[in-house]
Amino acid sequence: MASITIDGVNKIFGKTPALKDISLEIRDGEFMVLLGPSGCGKTTLLRCVAGLEQVNGGRVKIGERDVTDLAPRDRNIAMVFQSYAVFPHMTVGGNIGFGLRMKRRPKPEIEKRVREGAELLGLVPFLDRYPAQLSGGQRQRVAVARALVMDAPVLLMDEPLSNLDALLRLQARADLKRLHKEVKRTTIYVTHDQVEAMSMGDRIAVMREGAIEQLGAPMEIYNNPASQFVGGFIGSPPMNFLRGAIRDGSFAGDGFDVPITRMRGDLQGREMVLGVRAEHITIAGEGIPAHVMVVEPLGSHALVTVLVGKTPVKVQAPIDVAVRPDQAINLHFDEATLRWMDAGTGSAIQR
Amino acid sequence: MRARTERFLPFALLLPSIGFLGLLIVIPMVQALLLAVMAEGGGLSAENFQRMFADVNFSDAWRNTLLLLILIVPLQLVLALCMALLINSRFRGHGFFLYIYAIPLAISDLAAGILWLAVFTERGYLNSTLQNAGVITQPILFLSFDNLGGILTAIVIAESWRATAIVLIILIAGLQLIPRDFFEAADLFGANRLRRTVHVVLPLLRPSLQSALIIRTIFAFQTFAVVFALAGRNMPVLAGEAYTWYATNRNEHIAAAYAVLLLGLTIVATVVYLRVLGLREAEVQR
């Protein structure tokens, strides 16, 4: 088993910096998710750990071993590719055992471990089939099995679920989480899907423009986003933001005035952004005036989109909520749940 | 009306190429077949084939054609494969090498033959270079009729130079069709360069290898212009015999018999390649 140390890694494509001085410590056996929008550098960072990209600066260590200058095959890692990269000219069994054959393990050992890998992922009936005869979900499992039988202490996954349909993705997500509990490999998992990140990660590194914007446990990131970007990226629906300024015990902006009891004195008059989650807003008899735009019943609850001033705000309401579009209502914010960001930089402010 | 148009449109679009193939390939082929099985006076006969097999040059032509095929095709394949893998590794300046390698593609085979004649002939570039360098005092007769090894070597070099590029182009196209991920997965799962090539790249390249081999084998059976330019009549080959019987001996029937023999050999080779290198049904991605 092994930890992974990424120390000041830089990567430049042509003149575009893809990774800016990234440092990240991944603990032994940890499931680390790299999360961010496309182009944020998450896949590049993973490929730098894999050795499929050369870093332009910084070091990568696996355990105590500096692997920065080693070829991928010498790093003792396994990887699941986004496209799966399951070889079409080999059977399922041939694919699962590929890495072991390349490492020239004895035949009986290969057979035994291919069998174990196939059992772990429910692929035993398909061992003699070719990938073209499998469904997308089965091919994805072949890719996972091929990586797991390697017994490499480090497992890298590059959006392994993005090519599956929604229902299958839900199933595969739970399967991968169960597998991780069983095999306890140190895992780096790249995704742009914040639900995947929340549900699977021990910790999440939220990336933006080649840098890590926030690193933390899923609920920590959800509850205390380090910036407006993170709050807007994590959670479905994303966090609501209202722009305004603190004046005489209340936070006021276009069309609203929220009474605030506790706030650092030096923030008086400063332009700020208030962040509030949909589930922390209640529809009340009095409070902030809002105009209902859309009501979406979602089974377990209803999602109500309202306008506060000119800003759309999403409110999570009970499914039997009695509001209709064009109705004027009032919202109540629980002060303890409110988050504050600087209006200019977007970074979080402690009050 | 619309359904009708849609049904006939594909055929209409195929018509020009069918017409082209029919006019330039199918009709001459049928004519050659008829010529080959018709006696000079008319009527069906095996006489032309009997005369062809009995001809003094036939066994030499047969041996030389197969010899050239066996020497040239594997050599070209290996050369082209190495060059293609080299270019596909995308080292700095790989585009430049591709252009250099592809230059012979633009040169006709007879011109290529004459060009290499200028190299290998008694007062050619090779002899004068060697003499100027003081390696030899007398010119070597590379292409003398009693120096079969020399002629063969010259032809193999000239043919390889001339026609390896077409194999190269086919293989590069094939390599570029293989997703990058497969190379990376092989690297990551412990394959070194050689094992990656043997276990992943070559099997995935089978369709292109198949096309390249079929094309090269067909052309190797038809090898003629380069041989003619370098060896004249000293080295008879099957396609050359067809030409000689037609142009010099003025016997189109026996020329046609040679052509039919070549057609038969080509078909046999193609079927073998299709069988041996074809993808299994199960491997074909839907």
Q: What is the CATH number of the domain that holds A219?
A: 3.40.50.300
Q: Do B182 and A85 touch (CB under 8 A)?
A: yes
Q: Which residues pair with A96 in a beta bridge?
A: none
Q: Which of A62, A70, A73 to mutate to test the interface with B (most CBs of B within 10 A)?
A: A73
Q: Which residues of A touch B280 (CB under 8 A)?
A: 130
Q: Of the ranges A262-266, A332-336, B120-124, which one carries the lowest mean pLDDT score?
A: A262-266
Of A174, A197, A226, the one marking the end of a domain is A226
Q: Do B184 and A129 touch (CB under 8 A)?
A: no
The pLDDT tens digits of the residues spanning A295-319 come to 999 999 999 999 999 999 999 999 9
Spatial CB neighbours of A38, under 8 Å, sequence gap ≥ 6: A192
Averaged pLDDT score across all residues of chain A: 93
Q: Which of B181, B183, B188 to mutate to test the interface with A (most CBs of A within 10 A)?
A: B188
Q: Name the closest residue on chain B to residue A74, using Cα atoms.
A: B190
Task: Say how many domains are in chain A.
Answer: 2
Averaged pLDDT for residues A316-333: 93
In the structure, what pLDDT confidence band is assigned to residue B107 with cuts at 50, 70 and 90? confident
Q: Do B200 and A78 touch (CB under 8 A)?
A: no
Closest Cβ opposite residue A81 in set B185, B206, B284? B185
Query: Residue B221 sits in a domain of what CATH number?
Result: 1.10.3720.10
Does position B228 have pLDDT exceeding 90, yes or no? Answer: no
Asked if residue B76 belongs to a domain, the reply is: yes
State whether the Cα torsion A88-A93-A98-A104 is positive or negative: negative
The pLDDT tens digits of the residues spanning A136-194 come to 999 999 999 999 999 899 999 999 999 888 888 998 999 999 999 988 999 999 999 99
* CA distance readout (Å), A11 to A18, A137, A278, B152: 5, 33, 38, 54
My answer on whether A254 and A279 are in the same domain is yes
User: Does A318 sit behind a cis peptide bond, omega within 30 degrees of 0 on the bond before it?
Assistant: no
In the structure, what pLDDT confidence band is assigned to residue B222 with cuts at 50, 70 and 90? confident
Q: What is the ipTM of this complex?
A: 0.85
Q: Which residues of B touch A87 (CB under 8 A)?
A: 182, 185, 200, 203-204
Asked if residue B124 belongs to a domain, the reply is: yes
Which amino acid appears at position B89 of this protein?
A: S
Q: What is the pLDDT of residue B285?
A: 60
My answer on whether A216 and A283 are in the same domain is no
The H-or-E segment that residue A207 falls in is: strand A203-208
Cβ-based interface (< 8 Å): residues of A facing B:
50-52, 71-73, 77-79, 81, 83, 85, 87-89, 98-99, 101-103, 129-133, 146, 150
Q: Which residues of A touch B195 (CB under 8 A)?
A: 102
In angstroms, the CA A285 to CA A314 distance is: 18
My answer on whether A292 and A250 are in the same domain is yes
The Cβ-side half-sphere exposure at A215, using a 13 Å CA radius, reads: 9
Q: Tell me how close the Cα of B204 comes to any Cα of chain A, in angstroms.
A: 7
Q: What is the pLDDT of residue A248?
A: 82
Give the domain range for residue B210: 70-232
The Cβ-side half-sphere exposure at A201, using a 13 Å CA radius, reads: 29
Asked if residue B44 belongs to a domain, the reply is: no
In the structure, what pLDDT confidence band is assigned to residue A38 with cuts at 50, 70 and 90? very high
My answer on whether A188 and A324 are in the same domain is no
Phi then psi for residue A78, to 5 deg, are -130, 155
Q: Do A102 and B187 touch (CB under 8 A)?
A: no
The pLDDT tens digits of the residues spanning B183-217 come to 999 999 999 989 999 999 999 999 899 999 999 99
Q: Tell me how close the Cα of B190 comes to any Cα of chain A, in angstroms.
A: 4
In angstroms, the CA B86 to CA A28 distance is: 40
My answer on whether A22 and A136 are in the same domain is yes
Q: What is the pLDDT of residue B219?
A: 86
Bigger pLDDT: B148 vs A274: A274
The pLDDT tens digits of the residues spanning B40-75 come to 777 788 888 888 888 888 999 999 999 999 999 999
Asked if residue A234 belongs to a domain, the reply is: no
Interface size A-B, in CB pairs within 8 Å, comes to: 68
Does position B104 have pLDDT exceeding 90, yes or no? Answer: no
Q: Do A83 and B188 touch (CB under 8 A)?
A: no
Q: What is the pLDDT of residue B163?
A: 87
Q: What is the pLDDT of residue A1?
A: 63
Averaged pLDDT score across all residues of chain B: 88
In the structure, what pLDDT confidence band is assigned to residue B108 with cuts at 50, 70 and 90? confident
Asked if residue B120 belongs to a domain, the reply is: yes
Task: Say how many domains are in chain B.
Answer: 1
Query: Residue A336 sits in a domain of what CATH number?
Result: 2.40.50.140
Phi-psi region of A84 (alpha: psi -120 to 50; beta: other; left: phi over 0): left
My answer on whether A147 and A210 are in the same domain is yes
Q: What is the pLDDT of residue B56?
A: 86
Q: What is the pLDDT of residue B127?
A: 87
Q: Name the closest residue on chain A to residue B278, using Cα atoms.
A: A89
Please choose, from the candidates A188, A185, A223, the residue with its C-alpha nearest in 3D space to the C-alpha of residue A207. A188
Does position A321 have pLDDT exceeding 70, yes or no? Answer: yes
Q: Tell me how close the Cα of B207 comes to any Cα of chain A, in angstroms.
A: 12
My answer on whether A147 and A12 are in the same domain is yes
Q: What is the pLDDT of residue B274?
A: 87
Of A226, A255, A285, the one marking the end of a domain is A226
Asked if residue A231 belongs to a domain, the reply is: no
Give the domain range for residue A9: 4-226
Q: Of the ranges A8-17, B150-159, B276-285, which one carries the lowest mean pLDDT score?
A: B276-285
Q: Tell me how close the Cα of B82 comes to any Cα of chain A, in angstroms.
A: 22
My answer on whether A58 and A194 are in the same domain is yes
Asked if residue A314 belongs to a domain, the reply is: yes
Share of chain B above pLDDT 90, in %: 34
My answer on whether A170 and A269 are in the same domain is no
Asked if residue B180 belongs to a domain, the reply is: yes
My answer on whether A202 and A252 are in the same domain is no
Q: What is the pLDDT of residue A351?
A: 73
My answer on whether A191 and A294 are in the same domain is no
Asked if residue B165 belongs to a domain, the reply is: yes
Q: What is the pLDDT of residue B223?
A: 84
Q: Do B181 and A81 touch (CB under 8 A)?
A: yes
My answer on whether A126 and A31 are in the same domain is yes
Does position A129 have pLDDT exceeding 60, yes or no? Answer: yes
Q: What is the pLDDT of residue A91?
A: 95
The H-or-E segment that residue A198 falls in is: helix A194-200
Q: What is the pLDDT of residue B184?
A: 94
Averaged pLDDT for residues A215-227: 96
Please report, to the nearest 10 degrees, the dihedral formed by the alpha carbons of residues B215, B219, B220, B225 taken in order.
-160
Does position B2 have pLDDT exceeding 70, yes or no? Answer: no
Q: Tell me how close the Cα of B200 comes to any Cα of chain A, in angstroms.
A: 8
